Structure 1
Amino acid sequence: MKQHRRHFLKKLTATSAIAALSPMALEASSQEKSLLTRNFPKSTTELKTIRIGLIGAGGMGVEDTQTALQHPNIALVAVCDLYKGRLDAAKNRWGSQLFVTQDYQELLKRKDVDAVIIGTSDHWHKQISIDALHAGKHVYCEKPMVHSVKEGKDVIDAWKKSGKVMIVGSQGVSSLGNEKAKELLAQGAIGDIVYAEGFWARMSPEGAWQYALPKDGNEQMVDWKRYISNTNQLSWDPLRFFRWRNYLDYGTGMSGDLFVHLFSSLHFITDSYGPTKISAMGGLRYWKDGREVPDVLLGSFDYPDTPQHPGFNLSLRCNFVDGTSGTTYLRIVGTKGSMDVKWEEVVVKMNQSLASDDPYLQEQARLRGESQARASILPPKELVYTAERSWKGAHYDHFGNWFEAIRTGGTVAEDPEFGFRAAAPALLCNDSYFQNKFITWDPVTMQLI
C-alpha cells in the first residue's frame, strides 16, 4: 500500500493542524501575517557577470529582460527579433552598443552570450531552445515550453545532454505565495486535498490579445518567411504576426497562455506530476476578430491517487469577456479548509469544529457525570499571509533562481521536466476542445495513452 504524506497528516489533531499555521494562531479569529522574503547575494564583487541575449523582443521578452537586468552583474549584449522596429526600440532602450539581428542563429554563435531569454511566439520555443542548448547557452524560455506535446521529449533530451541550466517562465513557481501554500499544505493546514479550481479573467483589448499594430508593421520590416518557415506557408498577414496568440499555427490559446500558470502553481504546491484525464469546452463569445481560439474556456482534470498526494479534481476557467474585473486566483480545497493562493498572498480558511463543540461527545460527558467544561479560546478560522512590501516579486525571484543556478551549478524551480508537465495538460486541453473528446495522459512517463 502506498505511503502517502496524508497518512502523517491524519495524525495531526484539529488544534495542532490549525496551530501549524502560525505561532500566534490563538490571538484572533482573523489575522494578517507577513511572508518571509528570500535574500539573494548582496555582495556584487564576487558575482560573475552573466551576459544575456534576448530572442523575441515583444512585450513579454522586453518585460523579462527588464526584470533580469534588475539583478546585479547581468549584461544584455544582443537582441534578435523578426520585426526591425523592435530592434530599433531595443537600441533606444538599452544602448546603441547592442548587437541586433533578425537571425537567432547569429546571436547563438556569439561567444559573448552566456544565456538567452526566449520570448518568441510559442511555435518557435522548441527549436530555439534546442539550438541554444546545443550552442552551449543557458536558457530561459517563456511558457508554455513547447507548442505541442510531441515536442516535449526533444527539449528535455537536449537539456539533459547539454549540462546547461534551463528554466521555464511560469514566474508564479518562484512566488512567496506559492511557497507558503506548499508549506501549509504539507503541514496539514487544510487536511487532504480533494478539489482545486482556478480562474483567469480579462476584458480589455490588450488583455484579450488585440495587440496594437505598429504603423510600420509591414512585410518590408518583418521577416515573414522565417517566421512561418516551420509551419503552414501563408501570405503575409500582420494580424497573424503581431496578434499571433489568436492563431493555432503560432500560439496555444487561452490554456497555453494562462492555464499553464495555474498548472505550474498547483503542481509546485502539491508536488503533483499532473492529471490523467482531461476535458474541455468553451466557445468564441465576443472577440470575433478572425481568431481561431475560444475566448471562454472551461477545463476539467482528474488527478490520480499518488505517493505525493491523494486523488483530487481540478476545474479551470478562463474568460476574455469578463464584465466585472480582471480576477485571477487558485483555490485549493481540503478536508479541513481551503487556501486561496495568489503570488503575493495566501488566505487560509478553516471549517473545522473542535471536539468540545461535538454534541455527541458533550452528551457522553453528561452521562459520565462530568461537569460543564470551561469555555475554550478558539483558533482563527481565517489567516491571511501577505508578502513584505520589500519583496520585488515572483518575476524577479524567478530570474534570481536561474542566475544563481547558472553561477553555482544548482537547480531551478521549473526545469524542462516540470515545465513540460505543466504545459502538457494545457495543450491537451486545446486538443480536447477542438477534437470534442476526453484525453488521457500519463504524467509520469509524459506520454499520451
Structure 2
Amino acid sequence: MDNDKNLSNEKDTNKEELPHENAPKRPVSEGRRDALKAIATVPVLGAMAYGIYKKRRNEMNNNRASEMFRFKSDERPMTPIASDENIVRVGIIGAGIRGSQLLRGLGFATPEYVEELKQQSLKDSKNTRYADFMEQEDLRIQLTAVCDVFDNHAYDGIKAGANIHREGVNGTYGPEPKRYLNYKELLAADDVDAVVIASPDHWHGTMAMDAIKAGKHVYLEKPMTWTVPETYALRDIVKSSNRVFQLGHQNRQIEAYERAREIIEKGLLGPISLVETGTNRNDPNGAWVYAIHPDGNEKTIDWKQFEGDPDRIKEYMDYMTSAGLAKYVGPDPRDKFSLERFFRWRCWWDYSTGLSGDLLTHEYDAMNQILKLGIPDSAVSSGGVYFFKDGRTVPDVLQTAFEYKDRGTTFLYSATLASQYDRPRKIMGHDATMEVGSTLTITIDPRSEQYKEKIEKGIIKPGEPFYQYIPGRSVDAVSSATELYFAKRGLLYSYVGGKRYDTTFLHLKEWLSCIRHGGTPACGIDQAFQEAITAHMGTRAYLEGRTMYWDAEKEEITRG
C-alpha cells in the first residue's frame, strides 16, 4: 500500500441503510419484508480476525426494524492480549513507506509522526487519527531489530521502535532496536522470533524463504513473489515448516467483504458471469514517482545489497532470457547507482511486479476472499506506457481478463494511473449486481428470474439500491488519488463492534495470534500461492503478448 500521509476522517458511523432512508416514512409492505428476509438469514461467520460484531444492530427508529438485514455474530469478542502472554520479538526488514505503516500497525511510530497526528487533532476535532493510534491495543511485542539499506529509513525504524509509549517529540523512550546492515544477519539473531518483510518486490520471495529456513515466523508484504519459480519454492518451504506465514493483504480484515461473501454464498445474486475491478489514480505518487530523499547518496544507500549479489542477478537474467523477456530488463546497467531507481523501483521490471503485482493483487485477493475464485484457467493482458513516459518499463495502463470456465465467470481488471475517475468493484449476477468496497450495495437486475414476481408486483424497483451496508465513512478528506483508492476499497480502516480499526493492525494482530495460539491466518500460504500464480499469469500474458493457461493437474503455467 502507498503512503497515507495527511489522510483525515469525518465522524465515524456504523449503520445499515435502506434506500431512501431520508424519505418520508411509509408502511412497509409484506412483500418487501419477505424479499428482505432472504438476505436477513445470512450469518456473519467471523472469518475476520477476532470476530466481527458482539451484538446485533440497534433497531431503526419508527418501527422499521423489520426492514433490517440482521446478521448473526459468531460472538468471538475482540479482546486485548493478556498482559502475561509471551512477548513476541519482531524484526523488520525494510522500513520505508510501507515498512513505516506496518510498524505503526504494530504500535510503533516515530515521535515526529505522533506529533503530527497530535497537531492535526488539535486543528480539527473530527480528525480522530491520533486517538485511534493511541487507543490501538498493545500487541505485546518488542521490536528488537531493524534492517534497511538506506540509513535514514533504518534510523526512522529505530526511533519508532524506541517510542514504546507512542509519544511525540521530547518524550521518554525505551531501548533502541538493533540495526542490521544485512538482512541475513538479522535472521541469525537469537532475539528475533518473527520478521515483517517490506522490501522491494524483487526481494520478497528470497527473504521470506531465508526467514523460514532461519526458523522465523513471517509476515510478508504483497505480492508474494517476484518470479514464478520462487512461488513454488516458497510454498514448499512454508508447508514443510511449522512457522506462521501471513501475506500482507489487509483487505482480509474488511467487514464488508465478509458480508459480501456470505450474501453471495446464499445465492442472492444468482449465477455470476462477470466481475469488474480496476485501479484509477491520477497523481505522480500513485504512479510510483516517489520523492527522492535529499539524504540519498552512494554513502547512505547500500546499492549493491539493494540490487542483489551477482549470482542472484544472473539467475534472474537467465529466467528472463529463457522466457524470451530479456528485452524488458534494463536499459541501464544493473551495477550503476541510481537514486531514481532506488526510490522509484516500482517503475522497472528489474525490481517490480508492475501493476499486476502491486495493485491487481489487491483486487484479486478481495474477489478471491469473497468468491473463492482460486487460480484462473487463462489470462490475457494488454496495455503499455501511455502517460508517464519517464523511462519506466512497467505499464501505466493495463487490462487483464482472467477466465474461470467451469464457473462461467470472467474476472476483468482495468487500470490507469492517469485518471481518477471512480469505478467501483462490481460482481454481476443474473439476478443482482453487488458493488463492494468500504461499503456494500446490491441492485436487483430488471431481468431477474429470482425476483421476477416481486418486480412485477412493484415490491422491488430494479435499478435502485435494494440493500446498502455502510459500516463507516473515512474517505471525505483524503489528499490524493492514491489515498482515495485505498480508502474507498476499505484498505485503510475496518469497523469491529462499531469501532474503527486500522486494517493493517488487524492483519498483523491475527498473525501474532496464530503465532501464540496456533491456527491458520486469513491470507496464509495457500491463498498467497493463488495470488502469486494469478498475478504472474497476468504479467506473463502482458509481456509475451499471448494467452497464458493454468494446468491445474500439473500446476504449471503454459503458453497459448
Which TM-score band (shorter chain)?
0.7 to 0.9
Task: Tell me by how many angstroms 1:27 deviates.
Answer: 5.6
Aligned to 1:338: 433
Q: Which range moved further: 439-448 or 104-113? A: 439-448
Alignment of 1:47 onto 2:70:
no
Q: Specify whether residues 443 and 77 from structure 1 end up closer, same or farther in structure 2 by C-alpha distance, changes over 3 A only.
A: farther
Q: Specify whether residues 390 and 323 from structure 1 end up closer, same or farther in structure 2 by C-alpha distance, changes over 3 A only.
A: closer
Aligned to 1:89: 156
Aligned counterparts of 1:136 and 1:182: Cα–Cα separation in 2: 35
Aligned to 1:290: 391
Task: Tell me by how many angstroms 1:31 deviates.
Answer: 7.6
Aligned residue for 1:162, secondary structure, equals: coil
Q: Supply the AA of the counterpart residue of 2:153.
A: R
Aligned counterparts of 1:210 and 1:114: Cα–Cα separation in 2: 35
Aligned to 2:512: 403
The question of whether the paired residues in 1 share the 8 Å contact of 2:159 and 2:176 is answered with: no
The question of whether the paired residues in 2 share the 8 Å contact of 1:200 and 1:329 is answered with: no
Of the three residues 30, 35, 58, the one matched with 2:96 is 58
Aligned counterparts of 2:92 and 2:423: Cα–Cα separation in 1: 29
Aligned to 1:4: none
Q: Specify whether residues 49 and 91 from structure 1 end up closer, same or farther in structure 2 by C-alpha distance, changes over 3 A only.
A: same
After the TM superposition, which residues 1-40 of structure 1 pair with which residues of structure 2 at under 5 Å, given as runs? 18-22=36-40, 39-40=77-78
The question of whether the paired residues in 2 share the 8 Å contact of 1:35 and 1:385 is answered with: no
Aligned counterparts of 1:29 and 1:197: Cα–Cα separation in 2: 33
Q: Supply the AA of the counterpart residue of 1:183.
A: E
Task: Tell me by how many angstroms 1:442 deviates.
Answer: 3.2
Q: Supply the AA of the counterpart residue of 2:378.
A: K
Q: Supply the AA of the counterpart residue of 1:411.
A: T
Aligned counterparts of 1:302 and 1:41: Cα–Cα separation in 2: 41
Task: Tell me by how many angstroms 1:404 deviates.
Answer: 1.3
Aligned counterparts of 1:443 and 1:287: Cα–Cα separation in 2: 37
Q: Which range moved further: 23-32 or 379-388? A: 23-32
Aligned to 1:386: 470
Unaligned runs of 5+ in 2: 1-31, 42-58, 108-135, 163-174, 318-333, 472-494
Aligned counterparts of 2:402 and 2:351: Cα–Cα separation in 1: 25
Aligned to 1:197: 276
Task: Tell me by how many angstroms 1:417 deviates.
Answer: 2.1
Alignment of 1:435 onto 2:544:
yes
Q: Specify whether residues 72 and 286 from structure 1 end up closer, same or farther in structure 2 by C-alpha distance, changes over 3 A only.
A: same
Q: Supply the AA of the counterpart residue of 2:418.
A: V
Q: Specify whether residues 251 and 394 from structure 1 end up closer, same or farther in structure 2 by C-alpha distance, changes over 3 A only.
A: same
Q: Supply the AA of the counterpart residue of 1:76.
A: L
The question of whether the paired residues in 2 share the 8 Å contact of 1:331 and 1:341 is answered with: yes
Aligned counterparts of 1:17 and 1:135: Cα–Cα separation in 2: 56
Q: Specify whether residues 294 and 22 from structure 1 end up closer, same or farther in structure 2 by C-alpha distance, changes over 3 A only.
A: same
The question of whether the paired residues in 2 share the 8 Å contact of 1:55 and 1:118 is answered with: yes
Q: Supply the AA of the counterpart residue of 2:91.
A: G
The question of whether the paired residues in 2 share the 8 Å contact of 1:125 and 1:145 is answered with: yes
Q: Specify whether residues 356 and 22 from structure 1 end up closer, same or farther in structure 2 by C-alpha distance, changes over 3 A only.
A: same
Alignment of 1:322 onto 2:419:
yes
After the TM superposition, which residues 230-309 of structure 1 pair with which residues of structure 2 at under 5 Å, given as runs? 230-231=312-313, 233-305=334-406
Q: Specify whether residues 162 and 43 from structure 1 end up closer, same or farther in structure 2 by C-alpha distance, changes over 3 A only.
A: closer
The question of whether the paired residues in 1 share the 8 Å contact of 2:379 and 2:547 is answered with: yes
After the TM superposition, which residues 355-370 of structure 1 pair with which residues of structure 2 at under 5 Å, given as runs? 356=453
Q: Supply the AA of the counterpart residue of 2:537.
A: L
The question of whether the paired residues in 2 share the 8 Å contact of 1:30 and 1:381 is answered with: no
**Residue by residue, what CA displacement relative to the aligned partner does 1:205-234 show, whole Å, maximum 9, x if unpaired?**
111100111112111111111122232643
**Residue by residue, what CA displacement relative to the aligned partner does 1:326-385 show, whole Å, maximum 9, x if unpaired?**
x4632111111011111x3211222236454688xxxxxxxxxxxxxxx78559852111
Task: Tell me by how many angstroms 1:142 deviates.
Answer: 0.6
Q: Specify whether residues 35 and 243 from structure 1 end up closer, same or farther in structure 2 by C-alpha distance, changes over 3 A only.
A: farther
Task: Tell me by how many angstroms 1:131 deviates.
Answer: 0.8
Of the three residues 227, 230, 239, the one matched with 1:160 is 239
Alignment of 1:73 onto 2:140:
yes
Q: Specify whether residues 355 and 40 from structure 1 end up closer, same or farther in structure 2 by C-alpha distance, changes over 3 A only.
A: closer
Task: Tell me by how many angstroms 1:428 deviates.
Answer: 2.1
Aligned residue for 1:391, secondary structure, equals: strand
Q: Supply the AA of the counterpart residue of 2:426.
A: R
Between 1 and 2, higher relative CO (CA 8 Å, sep ≥ 6) is seen in 1
Task: Tell me by how many angstroms 1:153 deviates.
Answer: 0.9
Q: Compute the TM-score of the two structures, normalised by the length of structure 1.
A: 0.85
Aligned counterparts of 1:35 and 1:340: Cα–Cα separation in 2: 22
Aligned residue for 2:285, secondary structure, equals: coil
Aligned to 2:488: none
Task: Tell me by how many angstroms 1:429 deviates.
Answer: 1.4
Aligned counterparts of 2:507 and 2:469: Cα–Cα separation in 1: 20
Aligned counterparts of 1:443 and 1:330: Cα–Cα separation in 2: 27
**Residue by residue, what CA displacement relative to the aligned partner does 1:232-275 show, whole Å, maximum 9, x if unpaired?**
64311111111110010111111110000111111111122121
Of the three residues 119, 123, 138, the one matched with 2:217 is 138
Q: Specify whether residues 378 and 286 from structure 1 end up closer, same or farther in structure 2 by C-alpha distance, changes over 3 A only.
A: closer
The question of whether the paired residues in 1 share the 8 Å contact of 2:304 and 2:335 is answered with: no
The question of whether the paired residues in 1 share the 8 Å contact of 2:212 and 2:237 is answered with: yes
Q: Supply the AA of the counterpart residue of 1:59.
A: I
Unaligned runs of 5+ in 1: 1-13, 360-374
Q: Specify whether residues 439 and 238 from structure 1 end up closer, same or farther in structure 2 by C-alpha distance, changes over 3 A only.
A: same
Aligned counterparts of 2:417 and 2:72: Cα–Cα separation in 1: 32
Q: Supply the AA of the counterpart residue of 1:385.
A: Y
Alignment of 1:101 onto 2:202:
no
**Residue by residue, what CA displacement relative to the aligned partner does 1:39-74 show, whole Å, maximum 9, x if unpaired?**
432352243221111001110111112102244212
Q: Supply the AA of the counterpart residue of 2:526.
A: E
Q: Specify whether residues 220 and 28 from structure 1 end up closer, same or farther in structure 2 by C-alpha distance, changes over 3 A only.
A: same
The question of whether the paired residues in 2 share the 8 Å contact of 1:31 and 1:383 is answered with: no
The question of whether the paired residues in 2 share the 8 Å contact of 1:17 and 1:187 is answered with: no
Task: Tell me by how many angstroms 1:443 deviates.
Answer: 5.1
**Residue by residue, what CA displacement relative to the aligned partner does 1:313-332 show, whole Å, maximum 9, x if unpaired?**
011011100154xx463211
Aligned to 1:110: 189
**Residue by residue, what CA displacement relative to the aligned partner does 1:99-146 show, whole Å, maximum 9, x if unpaired?**
012201111111211111100011111111011111111000011100
Q: Specify whether residues 323 and 271 from structure 1 end up closer, same or farther in structure 2 by C-alpha distance, changes over 3 A only.
A: closer
**Residue by residue, what CA displacement relative to the aligned partner does 1:159-193 show, whole Å, maximum 9, x if unpaired?**
01221000101111221121111111111121121
Aligned residue for 2:220, secondary structure, equals: strand
Aligned counterparts of 1:33 and 1:205: Cα–Cα separation in 2: 43
> RMSD value over aligned CA atoms?
2.9
